[in-house]
A and B are shown apart, each in its own frame.
Chain A
């Protein structure tokens, strides 16, 4: 039966130990172990590229243990190879949170976000120029990360990080690289509001400024203009669209 054959292949490829019964059912022990290696090597490779710094920080053995444990839950649910590291990260980061240095989860989260930014969907085309009375249009590949450790800085080998709360906006630049830009808490909340996309720029500025108990005076306006110009220049902000009717 094809179903039995398929399920045996699945267990041989992703099980923590391939069973002799499955290998016997499939018929050629040595060649099916070749398949197990081929499948796992390809996935290991893409995961290792996406999380290279994390792997280096916690060591090959600890890293591989989490990957193998994830394999044994059944393997990728995505058809897109580029999303495989994200599935592994979702499984492994909670483990590393319990077992590794406190900054490792931040580092893995930062790396996987950068990976997703590089490979994220195409940008929308805004219908209008950016304006305060319009809803902003953001690039698709933009994410705000609130970190307890400044993991975007490469540490000295083995040194790790001291706590230093850091907010980053990760975005895809014109050369398709994921670039971190530091944000203050108000700018981060603004960007989150713009990402939600249901308010005009003016409405969201008023709401976020109020939440931060910040007066909208000349000083604030000047800083806001500089921030918006920088976001437009970096391709984080693309333009505007009319409010929904």
Chain B
């Protein structure tokens, strides 16, 4: 059985959990967690997840099984992850389309894959393998990147689509990542969105990012969502229809009320773009 996930959600993070779980704001429809932060962990994290599940459906977004690695998956981890995910009754799990480690060493960051046939073949094969192992639907998420890869900024969109089609997979579309990449590599993010097969999109991420003095945009999830990203969300939702949207805020976490007004803004865009929209 899975629980219904619709409308606007928020990432459950340690820094905002106390206030969030006390107030249980009604304009947040669901929560997202990183399973690596909860698997085999007691204490406050266990308590946070138990409390969160009393009030919200929870969905999961993985950090460590990035789809671009070359080493075989750790079968015992996938088994543990599968058990954890099935207990949560999630409708799908998501992972990043990136390189998270090499030779069984972990970067704890999302490093870019080259947009090549070879990388697409490996990533799609791994996605299928992981989906089979965990026994729940698996979406890939498009990542942000900072190192240029050839002259065509939109090559990443073709790469993402190729992996999606090869693996017949779902997509967690991160519009902030597309915006960041568009600004860093000088392409129109809407042209990227136009290349995406919308029927594959099951979830959307929005976030803020950091602009360095030299203009490079870094995907920190540590700033408010900028207007351009709201606008790109509106553009995207008009194409996808009402898929659930998550506000990601991982760093520099402000008082909850600030995040709640961002959530309200997201609801307004969501309702206007899709004609649908009830909070909990």
A141 contacts B148, C-beta separation under 8 Å: no
Partner of B103, one of A10, A79, A119, A141: A10
Within 8 Å of chain A (Cβ to Cβ): is B165? no
Task: Tell me which residues across on chain A come within 8 A of B69, comparing CB atoms.
Answer: 6
Within 8 Å of chain A (Cβ to Cβ): is B40? yes
A121 contacts B40, C-beta separation under 8 Å: yes
Task: Tell me how far the C-beta of B134 lies from the nearest C-beta in chain A, rounded to whole angstroms.
Answer: 15
Task: Tell me which residues across on chain A come within 8 A of B37, comparing CB atoms.
Answer: 81-82
10 CB-based A-B contacts, threshold 8 Å = A6-B99, A9-B102, A10-B102, A31-B147, A35-B146, A38-B109, A39-B109, A119-B41, A122-B42, A141-B43
Partner of A34, one of B64, B102, B216: B216
Across the interface, name the chain B residue whose C-beta is closest to A26: B147
Alpha-carbon gap, A13 to B99, bound state (A): 13
Contact with B along A108-126 (1 / 0, CB 8 A): 0000000000111111000
Counting residue pairs across A and B whose Cβ atoms lie within 8 Å, the total is 108
Task: Tell me which residues across on chain B come within 8 A of A3, comparing CB atoms.
Answer: 70
Partner of B111, one of A35, A121, A122, A140: A35
Task: Tell me which residues across on chain A come within 8 A of B46, comparing CB atoms.
Answer: 122
Binds A, one of B23-31, B114-122, B254-262: B114-122
Within 8 Å of chain A (Cβ to Cβ): is B36? yes
Contact with A along B46-75 (1 / 0, CB 8 A): 110000000000000001110011100010
A84 contacts B116, C-beta separation under 8 Å: no
Contact with A along B102-134 (1 / 0, CB 8 A): 111111110101101011001000000000000
Across the interface, name the chain B residue whose C-beta is closest to A121: B40
Task: Tell me how far the C-beta of A49 lies from the nearest C-beta in chain B, rounded to whole angstroms.
Answer: 12
Known A2-B122, A6-B102, A28-B147; contact A82-B107, beta-carbon cutoff 8 A? no
Within 8 Å of chain B (Cβ to Cβ): is A77? yes
Across the interface, name the chain A residue whose C-beta is closest to B219: A38
Alpha-carbon gap, A34 to B146, bound state (A): 8
5 shortest interchain CB distances as A-B pairs? A122-B42, A79-B64, A10-B102, A31-B147, A176-B44
User: Which of B114-167 touch A at CB < 8 Å?
Assistant: 114, 116, 118-119, 122, 146-149
Task: Tell me which residues across on chain A come within 8 A of B116, comparing CB atoms.
Answer: 2
Task: Tell me how far the C-beta of A176 lies from the nearest C-beta in chain B, rounded to whole angstroms.
Answer: 4
Known A39-B108, A42-B109; contact A172-B118, beta-carbon cutoff 8 A? no
A121 contacts B114, C-beta separation under 8 Å: no
Given contacts A6-B69, A34-B146, 20 further A-B contacts (CB under 8 A): A2-B68, A2-B70, A2-B116, A5-B114, A6-B68, A6-B70, A10-B105, A28-B147, A39-B107, A75-B105, A76-B106, A77-B104, A77-B105, A78-B106, A79-B106, A118-B44, A120-B43, A122-B41, A141-B43, A176-B43
Partner of B42, one of A32, A78, A172: A172
Task: Tell me which residues across on chain B come within 8 A of A84, comparing CB atoms.
Answer: 108
Task: Tell me which residues across on chain A come within 8 A of B146, comparing CB atoms.
Answer: 31, 34-35
Within 8 Å of chain B (Cβ to Cβ): is A157? no
B43 contacts A118, C-beta separation under 8 Å: yes
Contact with B along A208-236 (1 / 0, CB 8 A): 00000000000000000000000000000
A82 contacts B41, C-beta separation under 8 Å: yes
Contact with B along A19-33 (1 / 0, CB 8 A): 000000011100110
Task: Tell me how far the C-beta of A67 lies from the nearest C-beta in chain B, rounded to whole angstroms.
Answer: 14
A42 contacts B108, C-beta separation under 8 Å: yes
Task: Tell me which residues across on chain B come within 8 A of A170, comparing CB atoms.
Answer: none
B36 contacts A32, C-beta separation under 8 Å: no
Alpha-carbon gap, A3 to B99, bound state (A): 11
Within 8 Å of chain B (Cβ to Cβ): is A1? yes
Contact with B along A63-99 (1 / 0, CB 8 A): 0000000000011111111101000000000000000
Alpha-carbon gap, A38 to B109, bound state (A): 8
